[in-house]
């Protein structure tokens, strides 16, 4: 089986088998989903029906896989060593921008603030994407998130979400570090220039809509399952109102 031969899969098995170690179910599901998506990318001949059905039940597949594991699969000491081993966590993610404006210079400035905030959260850009006219849309952004492990990565993203919320409310709290706070404020100040906007940074989503001159801002840190669902409907990122309604429904 693919999980048994993949290096990340071996570490996942170690976590599943390591008694008494603090690996919660969210971390297990997150790691399994990442491995499963890698498996799909490497097996292009899988049928469309299989892909659609399986992506909807990734957590169930993970549970089924865990039940098949035998405790004698590896010596327990080897499992503990693998689970305890600190590795550099990297996660490849995507970004997208939609700005309701005809001003390319303003859109470019907001992209720079987006980039600065992403960097403050530990993201590296492997592809900056390109701006396309249609209001202004920047697509094709490729991100790599660096952290010690998936738990730390999730904590960083949660703090990033908090920083954005506080920046929108013009508040600062001690749990948000100075770099995150300043970069979040610069990005949210820039978003104020648009009546409607949609921003995706991995699992972080910012959606701004304006109705009867009253702005509404939605800031979310999506789960892996929600990211997968949103990626099935990429056109929504270019329609903030429909995107906001969709995100409120999942």
Give residue 2's pLDDT: 66
62-70 contact pairs (CB < 8 A, 24+): 62/28, 62/29, 62/32, 62/33, 62/36, 65/3, 65/32, 66/16, 66/28, 69/13, 69/16, 69/17
Residue 210: count of CB within 10 angstroms of its CB: 16
Residue 182: count of CB within 10 angstroms of its CB: 17
Q: What is the mean pLDDT of the chain?
A: 81
Indicate if the pLDDT at residue 74 is higher than 50.
no
Adjacent-strand bridge partners of 94: 142
CA distances 64 to 23, 29, 40, 53, 118, Å, are 18, 12, 18, 15, 36
pTM score: 0.63
Residue 156 CA to residue 165 CA, distance in Å, equals 14
Three-state DSSP class for residue 35: helix
pLDDT digits (tens, 9 = 90+) for 85-108: 554 667 888 999 999 999 999 999
pLDDT digits (tens, 9 = 90+) for 18-71: 654 556 677 788 888 888 888 777 776 776 666 667 777 888 888 777 777 654
Q: Where are the beta strands (DSSP E) in the chain?
A: 89-99, 123-127, 130-133, 136-147, 197-201, 204-211, 214-221
pLDDT digits (tens, 9 = 90+) for 122-137: 899 999 999 998 788 9
Residue with structure tokens 């599901």?
A: 29
Tokens of 88: 């550099």
Residue 168 exposed, middle or buried by CB count within 10 Å (0-12, 13-18, 19+): buried
């Amino acid at each position: 089986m693919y999980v048994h031969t993949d290096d990340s899969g071996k570490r996942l098995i170690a976590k599943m088998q390591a008694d008494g170690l603090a690996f919660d179910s969210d971390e297990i599901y997150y790691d399994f989903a990442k491995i499963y998506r890698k498996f799909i990318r490497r097996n292009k001949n899988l049928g469309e029906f299989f892909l659609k059905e399986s992506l909807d039940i990734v957590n169930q597949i993970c549970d089924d896989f865990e039940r098949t594991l035998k405790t004698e699969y590896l010596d327990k000491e080897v499992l503990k060593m693998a689970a305890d081993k600190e590795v550099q966590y990297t996660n490849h993610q995507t970004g997208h921008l939609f700005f309701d404006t005809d001003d390319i210079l303003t859109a470019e400035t907001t992209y720079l603030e987006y980039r600065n905030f992403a960097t403050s959260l530990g993201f590296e850009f492997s592809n900056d994407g390109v701006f396309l006219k249609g209001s202004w849309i920047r697509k094709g952004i490729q991100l790599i998130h660096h952290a010690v492990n998936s738990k730390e990565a999730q904590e960083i993203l949660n703090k990033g979400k908090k920083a954005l919320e506080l920046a929108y409310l013009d508040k600062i709290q001690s749990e948000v570090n100075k770099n995150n706070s300043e970069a979040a404020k610069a990005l949210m100040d820039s978003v104020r220039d648009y009546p409607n906007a949609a921003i995706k940074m991995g699992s972080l989503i910012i959606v701004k809509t304006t109705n009867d001159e009253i702005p509404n801002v939605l800031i979310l840190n999506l789960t892996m399952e929600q990211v997968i669902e949103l990626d099935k409907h990429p056109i929504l990122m270019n329609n903030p109102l429909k995107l906001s309604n969709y995100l409120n429904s999942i």
